[in-house]
Amino acid sequence: MLAWTASTAQGTWSRIDVPTDDFLRAVYFTDSLYGWAVGNLGTIIHTSDGGETWVLQDSQTGNEITDIFFLNRDLGWASSLNYMVSPYGTVLLKTENGGEDWVSIPYPEENIFINCIIFRDSLNGWMGGSPHAILRTSDGGQSWQQAAVDTSILAFFPVLSIRFYDDNYGYACGGLFEIAGVIWRTTDGGESWQAIDPVYAPADEVHELHLYDSLHVIGAGGDPDFGYGVAFIRTDDGGVTWDYEEIGLQGNAFDLDFRTPMEAWAPLGQKRKLIYSLDGGDTWTEIDTPENTAIFSIMFPDSLHGFACGMDGAMLKYTPPYYVSVNDPMAAAENCVILHQNYPNPFRGKTIIEFRVLSSEFRVPNPKSTSPNRPIAQLSVYSLFGQHIITLLHQPLSHSEYQVEFDATGLPAGIYFYKLTVTGIDSQVLFSQTRKMIVTP
């Protein structure tokens, strides 16, 4: 029997101890070991052992901290809101040593309250806020400029989250409860943003986004009043049109993250429920939170580790599904290999295709040998009609990330496909996935 394992269901969550009872509003992990959570009264807690132990960090503030982002284990930013002492507004926090020391940087404009913060590299970052703000920095957060946002009425609603797919394509979301939900998109690296057409806008804010690729996006939200409940908004054409669907569960999805390309989770806040999907977000199932906790933020740094936080110092840790031995190794490989969408896409000339091997145990035992044989990865490109164009990669796998460049110069504009296949002993297929890419004129 092959020494492979396969998941039979979703994983489980359990509450873990943290040194605070304050409302934890956001959690962020750079990897499976290093993470931070922030919340009321200037609370910042940190773990360097995957959540086994947590320590309080001195934020130098008593303000509510709404969001936190780390570029690596040392360099991070957080947003704190000053409602108590004039001038009211936002005080940004920055650290260069993992949070051992935090430096305050007041945002110069009064009455702007930052809800979210994200950085693309050490210099270039974005913030979203209330009453309306999409802000950009190119100097590591020392100064910020308001981005150009279209003039539609929806453009002036609060921004709750910003996500970029690559250097060009990005989306932001927000809105006001029982007024309107909004999604903005940029195709020029954030130089300009366009709000969703009001005809597609939901009645309530959109809290979080997941970008499958530059064209396919899902947003989480809902309306807990009047029986409308949890809802998701989607686009399949890069944000030109959107579909809004209520899924028949009571509550409001306050966050959204994907553990694998097919498994997604969202917390329902005061409903004290979590919902999960095993089919990429098409259908959802509801479960109770551990110890009846109210959870608002959730994050998976990789497919094997997850964390969530909320009211009363609640911190949850994810345990992957129980695995049992099977004769079908392809089921296990689905959680060990991730094939990403190429970027940029659409593109002209060159594009990058990435895939990741998530588990160091991704090996196929050879029954004729005492040592494992590494599976073989092959990455190939095909035309719309299935004609083989080129093999970009054919080599043994290792536990790492792969970046492969594809040069489409000379190819006609149109739709193409790239396929990653992983084979083991006797050319047995362990993993196979195909994605679409578009070559422009």
Q: Strand order in 229-235's β-sheet? A: 206-211, 217-223, 229-235, 243-246
> pLDDT tens across 139-174, in order?
988 899 999 998 788 888 999 999 998 888 999 999
Report the distance separating Cα 294 and Cα 309, nearest Å: 8
Determine the Cα–Cα distance for residues 20 and 38; give it in Å rounded to an integer.
10
Confidence check: pLDDT of 210 > 90 = yes
* Predicted local distance difference test score (pLDDT) of residue 335: 55
pLDDT band at residue 276 under the 50/70/90 scheme: very high
8 Å CB contact between 184 and 175? no
Q: What is the pLDDT of residues 350-405, one digit of tens each?
A: 999 998 886 544 544 443 333 345 688 899 999 887 789 999 999 888 767 899 99
Q: Spell out the CATH class of 328-439.
A: mainly beta
Question: Is the fold of 4-324 the same as that of 328-439?
Answer: no
For 401-425, what is each residue's pLDDT tens digit? 899 999 999 999 888 999 998 887 6
- Write down the mean pLDDT value for the chain: 87
Of residues 282, 279, 309, 296, the one with CA closest to residue 54:
309
pLDDT at position 357: 80
Q: Does domain 4-324 have CATH number 2.130.10.10?
A: yes
The partner residues of 13 in beta bridges, in order of sequence, read 318
Q: Are 193 and 184 in contact (CB under 8 A)?
A: yes
pLDDT tens string 280-315: 899 999 999 999 999 999 999 988 899 999 999 999
* Average of per-residue pLDDT across 238-254: 94
> Average pLDDT in the 216-241 region?
90
Cis peptide before 329 (omega within 30 of 0): no
Residue pLDDT, tens place only, 63-104? 999 999 999 999 999 999 998 888 899 999 999 999 999 999
Residue for token pair 């605070």: 20
What pLDDT shows up at residue 211?
94
Q: Per-domain residue ranges for the chain?
A: 4-324, 328-439
How much is the pTM?
0.74
